[in-house]
Chains A and B, each alone.
Chain A
């Protein structure tokens, strides 16, 4: 158990819909990262938040957005869903200082299926 929790575990929805994925980081970690894992692309970095502020953006579509709340939990919002958005979505957390090598702890993931 990494200490990172993600809900829900599974999500099945239809094209055009909007969903919200939730992540609670390990106690004491200020950084939250979101990743997407698909068969054809592998694990892709989406976005990084540190203490409520966006720090880095990766291959995140404009239809996707994220935020980190004062209690440090984070939500990833996916809208106008397409079939190709079906994937595993992982959240990871770390202490991240920006100066030293970071160790990220991954949650169990949310499996999104878009029908």
Chain B
């Protein structure tokens, strides 16, 4: 059983459309991180959210951390072909696991494909 559930698993959309990816858990995290991974490469950090209710924007990407620090969402406005990739959420240091800061629990990821 995954500690973090991501949905949808696959997303295929046209350029210009908006989309939202969800990351849910029953655990409370010290922080929630979003990564993007290209085929054959390591994950690259996009953002870290720490405070419940926090919203961070990175150009056309908007990240939100749930009030209870158990879930997060990633919204992309006007998707571009360059947004294609695997989007991973990762929770750090869930309190109910007695986990140390630094240890990350990853979701399975959302594979996004944006068509021209």
Q: A-side interface residues toward B, CB under 8 Å?
A: 2, 4, 31, 33, 35, 42-45, 48, 55-56, 58, 90, 92, 94, 96, 98-109, 111
Please count how many residues in chain B sit with their CB below 8 Å of the partner chain's CB atoms.
Answer: 27
**Closest Cβ neighbor of A104 among chain B residues:** B104
Nearest 6 pairs of A and B residues by beta carbon: A106-B42, A43-B106, A102-B102, A101-B31, A42-B108, A96-B102
Whether a CB of chain A sits under 8 angstroms from the CB of B50 is yes
A2/B42 in contact, CB under 8 A? yes
Q: Shortest beta-carbon distance, B69 to chain A, in Å?
A: 12
- Give the total number of A-B pairs whose CB atoms are below 8 A apart: 72
How long is the Cα–Cα vector from A44 to B99 in the complex, in angstroms? 15
Q: Shortest beta-carbon distance, B91 to chain A, in Å?
A: 11
> Could you list 19 A-B pairs, sorted by A, with CB under 8 Å?
A4-B42, A42-B2, A42-B108, A43-B43, A43-B109, A44-B106, A45-B103, A45-B106, A48-B103, A56-B102, A56-B103, A90-B42, A92-B42, A98-B100, A101-B48, A101-B50, A104-B102, A106-B42, A108-B42
A106/B106 in contact, CB under 8 A? no
